Amino acid sequence: MGSYELICVGCGVAGQHAAARAAAAGRRVAIIERSAAPGSTLAKAGAPPSRSIRETALLLAAHRDHSIEGINMRVPAGLSIAQFVARCLQAQTNAPIRINDELEQSGADTYQGDVQFIDEHTIELARAGGRVDRLIGEHILLATGSAPHHHSGVDFSNPCIVDADEMLKLPSIPADLTVFGAGMIGCEYACILAEIGVRVRLLDPHDHLMPGLDPDLRRVLVRSMLEAGVDLQLGADLRDVEPARGGGVSVQIERGAVYHTDVLMYASGRRGATSSLNLQQIGVETDKYGYIIVDDQGRTAIPHIYAAGDVTGHPSLAGEALSQAGAAVDQMFSLTPRRVNEDLLPMCLCTIPPIAMVGMTEAQARQQNINVMVGRAGLTPCRDRRTFGDEKGFMKLIFEYPSRRLLGAAIIGAEAPEIIHIAQAVIAHDGTFDYFIDAGFNTPTFSAAYQRAALDCAMAVARREAESRAA
């Protein structure tokens, strides 16, 4: 029976980061992963694979929209998703090797197996071949991530009904795809597959896609989706899903319409991957979606057991998983304890065009009765920097009046996930719009939009002040 100062359960973004950080601080660490290949949802089904499909889709779209006579870049019928994303599958194959190397160098012991708690400090590890080991942990970090939510009554054994994690395993690219759930994952897949000519229908029971998204950005995203041919059916819940005669699925929505589709992809929510851990037995609490309830230091109801990453629920982003895992390790070993500053965590969405936001939205600032000023700018620097298919976009900066402090930024368009970090840094250092106006920016660049948005805001402020002087 091995004994450790820290046992990390789950070798995704959060588990790896925590294990490496604690091992680097000289602690005796073990990390346990259920699957044979370590590596997170992010590497296997998340951003890199979906971004890789996205990049390939944009390349093909570029050739379609700006064709050269004699060169045919159409997607051949029957092409499998695996062929289409061959580049990303290569990256996925390499990821476990890289992660194993990194963990070995960090000095953490790695185990493969399924985990169950025996008591608050003892973990049972069911290993291949029926072997069972027990490990004792002074501290334990739960980082088992999340899994797609499977609605009761939906037959996921039907190969034409898939969840987001199974999407990459489809034997061929469907001609017609119905996506249920217009959240982050549903919107990403709808945009990407529409870009390569798949007939895409996006259904959601709510009236808006992506709750929490700035409404100005949402308008641009909706326009882009409609232009790409996505059939957007909002306010449409599913009434019935049946296997269709001759293959595919027949989908009936509450309003009565019936669609025949090759593949129905459920992208309507995830759950904490906690059901097999035996958490109730030791008093670690979860909510009704299986997400572990933690305090603002990542601690569960049992003081030496922490949780980090997607297993703690919203917003389920890799950056957040990293920050939470690092903060939990610092807290448990008193290494400059700190709280995760959620206000500075950026979000990004790999739709076409992509989206990124950081800090407060305009609506959040107004809800807090902050006197808000907004600056806007287009995001099209010049023709040679444009990525085909990513040509639209705009930036919105939210400032406080009269302090002129930057409170938040929302960007839609090429490079949004990169350039959002400029706003993140300015917010972290209490910067004002004067910074953007006074700083020199390379041109033509997407980043230069910050200067134009700040100038737009400065002009609005000047108008507002002139009006109040005149009144």
Ligand X SMILES: Cc1cc2nc3c(=O)[nH]c(=O)nc-3n(C[C@H](O)[C@H](O)[C@H](O)COP(=O)(O)OP(=O)(O)OC[C@H]3O[C@@H](n4cnc5c(N)ncnc54)[C@H](O)[C@@H]3O)c2cc1C
Rule CB under 6 A: say whether 45 interacts with ligand X.
yes
Helices (H), 197-317: 215-227, 279-282
Q: Which is nearer to ligand X, 43 or 407 (CB)?
A: 43
Collapsing DSSP states into helix, strand and coil, what is residue 376?
A: strand
The span of 3-11, 79-87, 151-159, 248-256 binding ligand X (CB under 6 A) equals 3-11
Residue 163: partners with Cβ closer than 8 Å, 6 or more residues away = 148, 150, 156, 265, 266, 267
Q: Single out the residue of 23, 50, 123, 420 in contact with ligand X (rule: CB under 6 A).
A: 50
Collapsing DSSP states into helix, strand and coil, what is residue 227?
A: helix
Residues 281-310 that bind ligand X (CB under 6 A): 309-310
Which amino acid is located at 238 in the chain?
Answer: L
CB atoms within 10 A of CB 219: 12
Rule CB under 6 A: say whether 275 interacts with ligand X.
no
Q: What mask, x for binding ligand X by CB under 6 A, covers residues 328 to 357? A: --------------------x-x-------
Rule CB under 6 A: say whether 33 interacts with ligand X.
yes
CA-based nearest residue to 357, from 175, 176, 217: 217
Rule CB under 6 A: say whether 319 interacts with ligand X.
yes
Shortest distance in whole angstroms from residue 225 CB to ligand X: 17
Q: Single out the residue of 6, 7, 8, 13 in contact with ligand X (rule: CB under 6 A).
A: 13
Alpha carbon separation from 157 to 73, 163, 470 (Å, rounded): 34, 11, 70
The span of 318-326, 399-407, 420-428, 437-445 binding ligand X (CB under 6 A) equals 318-326
Alpha carbon separation from 440 to 192, 202, 443, 445 (Å, rounded): 35, 43, 9, 12
Q: Is 105 exposed, middle or buried (0-12, 13-18, 19+ CB in 10 A)?
A: exposed
Decide if 108 contacts 20 (C-beta within 8 A). yes
Q: Single out the residue of 321, 360, 377, 426 in contact with ligand X (rule: CB under 6 A).
A: 321
Residues 404-463 that bind ligand X (CB under 6 A): none
Q: Single out the residue of 4, 6, 7, 15 in contact with ligand X (rule: CB under 6 A).
A: 15
Rule CB under 6 A: say whether 10 interacts with ligand X.
yes
Plot region of 242 (φ>0 → left; ψ -120 to 50 → alpha; else → beta): beta
Rule CB under 6 A: say whether 317 interacts with ligand X.
yes
Collapsing DSSP states into helix, strand and coil, what is residue 241?
A: strand
Binding site for ligand X (CB under 6 A): 9-15, 32-35, 40-42, 45-47, 50, 114-115, 143-145, 164, 185, 273, 276-277, 309-311, 316-319, 321, 348, 350
